[in-house]
C-alpha cells in the first residue's frame, strides 16, 4: 500500500499554502456521505478514519494526509467518518487552492500526485470490492487526475529544461541526481564538463543571435553523443555538462573526445566557407565521480581538469583523477 506520509518538501509546501485548524478529542471533521472540498494534513495529534461496517478503524498520525479527493476534484462524497482522537492541529487545503499549489511548486505537487493517485486507486478499489459501491467517483477522480498529471508532467519538464537549447538545466540536473539516489544508484558515473572558448569574442564581434546559435550547436553535439541513460545539461552561460552512465574511463574519454573533435570539424568547415560562426572551440574536463557524492564534489573534480584544458590553450580534453580529501 502507498504511504500516506508526506515528504519533508510536501509538508513544507502544504504548511505554507494551507490553513491551520485546531481540533479537540471527539471532534467530527466529516461523516461518510458528506460532500467535501478539502484535504487535511496532520501537523500534530491523531485522526481516526471509520469506513463503517466491519472495516477496521484506521488511525493516522503526524505528517499523514487524508481527504485528498476533496482537494483534487472538489465536491467529493466522503467514504469515511473522520474524528479527532486527541487534541491536535491540522493543515487544511481546499480545492480552489489546488491551482495555486501547482503554480507555486509544480515539481513537488507532481511527485505528490503520483503517490496520491496510487493511494486513491488502492483504497477505492478495496472499498468497492468490500462494499460493492459504484465507482463513478473513482472514475471521475482518475479522469481529472489523468488530465492534471499530464499537465503537471509537461510543466515539470519545462521547469527542468533550458529554453534556448532544449537540454536539461541546472535544476533538471539536481532532480536527476536526487532520483538516482532514490533508486539506490551507487556505481561510479562519468562527468564531462564543457566550456566554450572565446565565446565572449563571438558575442562581441557577431552579436547575441550568433552567440545563441553557437550555444545551440554545442547542445546539438551533446545531444548526438548521449546514450539512453546519459544526461546532457546546460549549467548556465556557455557552460555545459554530460553525466555519462559508465564507470569506465575509456567510455567517458570517448564521449569527451567526440565533443571536442566534432567542434574542431565544424570550425574547419567554417574556415573553408567563410561563414559566420556556428561553433567555437570547446575545452572539456572529464572524470569519474561517485554517484552518492554531492554536486560540489563532482564539479570541483571536473573543473580542475577543465581549468587545465583552458590553461593549455583550449580546444582539448583533460582528465582528472579523484581530488585529495580535504577532511
* pLDDT tens digits along 128-149: 565 554 456 666 666 676 666 6
What is the pLDDT at residue 86?
A: 96
Check pLDDT > 80 for residue 327: no
Sign of the C-alpha dihedral computed for residues 308, 310, 314 and 316 taken in this order: positive
Q: Hey, what's the cell of 121?
A: 486507486
- Cα–Cα dist 81/192, whole Å: 56
Q: How far is CA 206 from CA 28, 47, 203, 209, 282, in A?
A: 70, 66, 5, 8, 18
What is the pLDDT at residue 1?
A: 47
What is the average pLDDT across 303-318? Answer: 95
What is the pLDDT at residue 129?
A: 60
231: Cα within 13 Å, side-chain hemisphere: 21
Architecture of domain 8-160: Sandwich (2.60)
Domain ranges of the chain: 8-160, 170-319
Please determine, looking at this structure, whether the domain spanning 170-319 carries the CATH number 2.40.30.200: no
What is the pLDDT at residue 244?
A: 94
Higher pLDDT, 133 or 171: 171
Check pLDDT > 60 for residue 326: no
- What is the residue-averaged pLDDT of the chain? 85
Check pLDDT > 60 for residue 194: yes
Higher pLDDT, 169 or 1: 169
Confidence of residue 285 (pLDDT cuts 50, 70, 90): very high
Identify which of 323, 313, 315, 322 has the alpha carbon closest to the alpha carbon of residue 194: 315
Lowest-confidence region among 146-160, 242-256, 277-291: 146-160
Lowest-confidence region among 133-142, 273-282, 287-296, 299-308: 133-142
Check pLDDT > 60 for residue 3: no
Render pLDDT for 77-100 as a digit per residue (tens, 0 to 9).
Answer: 888 899 999 999 999 998 888 878
Q: How far is CA 21 from CA 5, 26, 31, in A?
A: 19, 15, 18
Asked whether 288 and 225 are in contact (CB, 8 A), the reply is no
Check pLDDT > 90 for residue 213: yes
What is the average pLDDT across 146-164? Answer: 69
Check pLDDT > 90 for residue 110: no
What is the average pLDDT across 214-223? Answer: 94
Asked whether 197 and 238 are in contact (CB, 8 A), the reply is no
Length of the chain as a residue count: 327
Q: Locate cell 472495516: which residue?
A: 55
Check pLDDT > 90 for residue 212: yes
What is the pLDDT at residue 168?
A: 92
Higher pLDDT, 20 or 52: 20
Higher pLDDT, 1 or 184: 184
Render pLDDT for 35-57 as a digit per residue (tens, 0 to 9).
Answer: 988 999 999 999 999 988 767 88
Check pLDDT > 90 for residue 28: yes
Over pLDDT 70: what percentage of the chain?
85
Confidence of residue 152 (pLDDT cuts 50, 70, 90): low
Amino acid at each position: 500500500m502507498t504511504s500516506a506520509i508526506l515528504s519533508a518538501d510536501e509538508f513544507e509546501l502544504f504548511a505554507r499554502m494551507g490553513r491551520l485548524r485546531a481540533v479537540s478529542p471527539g471532534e467530527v471533521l466529516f461523516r461518510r456521505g458528506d460532500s467535501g472540498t478539502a484535504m487535511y494534513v496532520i501537523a500534530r495529534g491523531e485522526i481516526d478514519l471509520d469506513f463503517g461496517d466491519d472495516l477496521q478503524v484506521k488511525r493516522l498520525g503526524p505528517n499523514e494526509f487524508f481527504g485528498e479527493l476533496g482537494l483534487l476534484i472538489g465536491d467529493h462524497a466522503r467514504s469515511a467518518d473522520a474524528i479527532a482522537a486527541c487534541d491536535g492541529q491540522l493543515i487544511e487545503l481546499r480545492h480552489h487552492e489546488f491551482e495555486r499549489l501547482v503554480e507555486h511548486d509544480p515539481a513537488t505537487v507532481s511527485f505528490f500526485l503520483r503517490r496520491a493517485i496510487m493511494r486513491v486507486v488502492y483504497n477505492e478499489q478495496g472499498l468497492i470490492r468490500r462494499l460493492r459501491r459504484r465507482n463513478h467517483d473513482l472514475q471521475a477522480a482518475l479522469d481529472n487526475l489523468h488530465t492534471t498529471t499530464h499537465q503537471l508532467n509537461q510543466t515539470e519538464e519545462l521547469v527542468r529544461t533550458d529554453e534556448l537549447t532544449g537540454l536539461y538545466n541546472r535544476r533538471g540536473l539536481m532532480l536527476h541526481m536526487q532520483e538516482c539516489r532514490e533508486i539506490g544508484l551507487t556505481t561510479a558515473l562519468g562527468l564531462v564538463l564543457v566550456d566554450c572558448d572565446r565565446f565572449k569574442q563571438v558575442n562581441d564581434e557577431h552579436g547575441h543571435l550568433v552567440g545563441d546559435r553557437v550555444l545551440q550547436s554545442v547542445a546539438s553535439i551533446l545531444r548526438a553523443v548521449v546514450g539512453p541513460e546519459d544526461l546532457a545539461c546546460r549549467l548556465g552561460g556557455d557552460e555545459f555538462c554530460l553525466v555519462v552512465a559508465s564507470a569506465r574511463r575509456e567510455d567517458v574519454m570517448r564521449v569527451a573526445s567526440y565533443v571536442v573533435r566534432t567542434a574542431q570539424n565544424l570550425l574547419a568547415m567554417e574556415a573553408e566557407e567563410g561563414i559566420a560562426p556556428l561553433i567555437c572551440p570547446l575545452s572539456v574536463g572529464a572524470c569519474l565521480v561517485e554517484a552518492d557524492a554531492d554536486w560540489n564534489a563532482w564539479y570541483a573534480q571536473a573543473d580542475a581538469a577543465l581549468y587545465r584544458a583552458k590553461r593549455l590553450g583550449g580546444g582539448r580534453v583533460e582528465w582528472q583523477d579523484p581530488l585529495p580529501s580535504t577532511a
